[in-house]
Every structure is written in C-alpha cells, then in structure tokens.
Amino acid sequence: MKIAILGTRGIPNNYGGFEQCAESLSIGLVKRGHKVTVYNPNFHPFKENNYKGVKIEHIYSPQNIIGTAPANFVFDYLCLKHAIKNQYDIILELGLITAAPAIILCDKKSSIVVTNLDGLEWKRAKWSSAVRVITKALEKFGVLNSNFLVADNIAIQEYIKYNYNVPSEFIAYGTEKVGLLTKKTIDKYLLHPDNYTLTIARLEPENNLELMCDGYLLSDNQLPYYIIGNHNTKYGAFLKEKYKNTNIHFLGAIFNKEELDTFRYYASYYLHGHSVGGTNPALIEAMAAQAFVIVHDNPFNKSVVSENTFSFSSKEELKLIFEDDSLLKQREEIARENLKIINSRYKWDLIVEKYEKYFLKILSDKKI
C-alpha cells in the first residue's frame, strides 16, 4: 500500500501524542512492506527527506506569520491537496477539526481519506462559546465528509454512532514496552528522596489540574506533588500563582521517555485528570510503567483502565482517596492488572497490525 499520514507537527516526534502515533505507525507499516509518507510542517527541525524508511514531505505552514491555530487550517489544506494529487491508496488524517475544511473542499474521488477523530475538541474549557459552536460544526462536517473514521476509544466510537449515526473503526493509541528503571534517573528533579504524587499533562483546564491540586491540598497527603508539563502559558502562570507556597511543584516539560517512565513507576499516586475524550497517551504510558493510576471518572478513562482502578469526579472524592491508607496496599495488584491490559490491547505492534488490516479491508471492499 501507498499511505500518507497527515495532520501532525511531524516526525520524529518532539511534541505530543498524534506525533508519536505518526512516528510509530509509519515506521511499523514500512517494516511490513508498505510505502509510507509523513507530512511535516516546514518549521520542523528534521530537514531530511527520509526517517527510518519513512518518506518525509515538507509542507509550508504560515505559523510564524498568522499564529498556530489559523496556520493549522492552512497547513492541513495544503497537505491534503498535495496528498490527493499524489494519489495515495490511503490518506490518514490524524485529528479532525483543523482538517475538516480541507476534507470538505478537496476532491476525494481519487483517494480514500481515513480520519482519526481524537477527543471532543468543542468541550475544551479554554474555548469561548463562539469557538465551541464553530468547533462542533467542524466536527460534524468533518465526520460526515470523511470516507472512513477511526475512533481511538470505545466511548468515542459510541459518541460518533450516537450523534452522527456513522460507523467507525476502533483502533486505540499505542505504547512501547518499558525497560528496567532506576530512581537515580530522576534524582536531579526530586526535592525529597522518597515518595511523591505525580501528574504528567498539558496544563489545560479540561485536564482538571485545579481539581486535583485542590483535592491534594484538602487531604492530609504530605507527599510532594510534582506536575510535569509546559507551564510557560497563561493558564500555567495562573496555576503557579494559585499554588505558590504549597507542596505542589511545577517541573516544566520533560521529554526524555526514560525519565518520564521512572517518574511514573516510582510515584506513590499518579493522578490522571483528562476529560475530553480519546485514549490519552499519558494514561496508557502511565499504565505501561506500572504507575498507581487514579483517574478522573469519565467514560473515556474508565474504558481503558481495569475495573479496580480508583477514580474521582470532585476534589472531595480525591481527598478521600488520599486519606484511605488501605488503598496503597492494592497498588501492585492494580498496576499488574493495568499492565496486562496494555500488553493485550495497546502495544504498538498490535496497533500497527490493526491499522494495516483495516486499510487492506477498505481497499479490498473498494474493488468489489
């Protein structure tokens, strides 16, 4: 198959989940004998035309001129227009909202566009009411105009069916095996050598950072609370100001996977507050590292973790979790259950195989 992967900030990944998906999926499909191209924005630091067997197309993005959000619409349009012209068997769009106008406007007669709907963007708390209305409309038109849809979470698949009466293929996000870890790897970050509470997330309102911080402060939890994620934003500044002079510490962005996995493995509690949908990479990576995961109570998170995983929907519920010392005794058992789920459902080699089978099925059905 000749496959193009669009909609990301490019590979090798130096940004986030969809970028890691593009990297792992493209390399995996190349190893299976397929010709794969990933579309990179021109500002990506990797300037070569091939990465581990994956062809790289460098496409112009006006991000430095008009800003990130409007530039993404332009970039996605230019990518899809270029990909359709080059007649790929499958064009995979990772992300829907900024790609929606391109999906609507571009002539898809000669190409098959498969769109991976990530989370529910219109639910993000940072958006104004007007932006939410526009984003919801873009979601609708993008869903209805894509040739095929992938949902990376069962709850997202159900959402698509219920709201648009459109079928989708469930293919989750993947994760890599975690190697042997030693706490010395992260000693330079730790204010105290022993136990700690941890969150790794983008500092956005819908990730419930305030709820988790407030629940932590309400409790008698004396462990330092480390939050890893870029805090050099307006919301990050707000959080740092609100929780200064507390035992909550903002460590900033850390990209080294071994360090992140070490943080996860040795945390007494790992709090995951994401709430707007999809199989979140931070959650399955925490499960893969055998963290003691405690999740925000919503169908997207609950469809991923084991039935015994503890959850919270308010700061009061989180306070009670912290104050129940008996819960820590179940840490190892729950971590093992979650690791079994990862090994059976979320390893990248399994995800690559599912994408390959789905693409081949689409092409086979087309010929009938």
Sign of the C-alpha dihedral computed for residues 78, 79, 80 and 82 taken in this order: positive
Distance between CA atoms of 195 and 190, rounded to whole angstroms?
A: 10
- Helix-then-strand count for the chain, H and E: 14, 14
**Taking the C-alpha atoms of 204, 207, 211 and 217 in order, what is their torsion angle to the nearest 10 degrees?**
-80
Distance between CA atoms of 258 and 346, rounded to whole angstroms?
A: 19
- Reported as half-sphere exposure (CB side, CA atoms, 13 A), residue 59 has a value of 27
Distance between CA atoms of 314 and 99, rounded to whole angstroms?
A: 35
* pLDDT 10s digits, 149-174: 999 888 889 989 999 999 999 999 99
Which residues, 6 or more positions from 356, have their beta carbon under 8 angstroms from its beta carbon?
Answer: 1, 29, 32, 34
Which residues, 6 or more positions from 244, have their beta carbon under 8 angstroms from its beta carbon?
Answer: none
Q: Are 142 and 100 in contact (CB under 8 A)?
A: yes
**How crowded is residue 188: how many other Cβ atoms within 10 Å of its Cβ?**
7
CATH topology of domain 183-345: Rossmann fold (3.40.50)
Distance between CA atoms of 90 and 254, rounded to whole angstroms?
A: 34
**What integer pLDDT is reported at residue 126 of this predicted model?**
66
Low-confidence ranges of the chain (pLDDT < 50): none
Domain ranges of the chain: 2-174+347-367, 183-345
**What integer pLDDT is reported at residue 193 of this predicted model?**
73
Which residues, 6 or more positions from 14, have their beta carbon under 8 angstroms from its beta carbon?
Answer: 44, 45, 255
| Domain pair 2-174+347-367 / 183-345, same fold | yes
**What integer pLDDT is reported at residue 314 of this predicted model?**
97
**What integer pLDDT is reported at residue 243 of this predicted model?**
97
**What integer pLDDT is reported at residue 120 of this predicted model?**
61
**What integer pLDDT is reported at residue 119 of this predicted model?**
63
∠ at Cα 160 (169, 20), nearest 5°? Answer: 55
* pLDDT 10s digits, 281-337: 899 999 999 999 999 999 889 999 999 999 999 999 999 999 998 888 899 999 999
Quote the tokens at residue 138: 């873009």
Of the options 3.40.50.450, 3.20.20.80, 3.40.50.2000, 2.80.10.50, the CATH number for the domain spanning 2-174+347-367: 3.40.50.2000
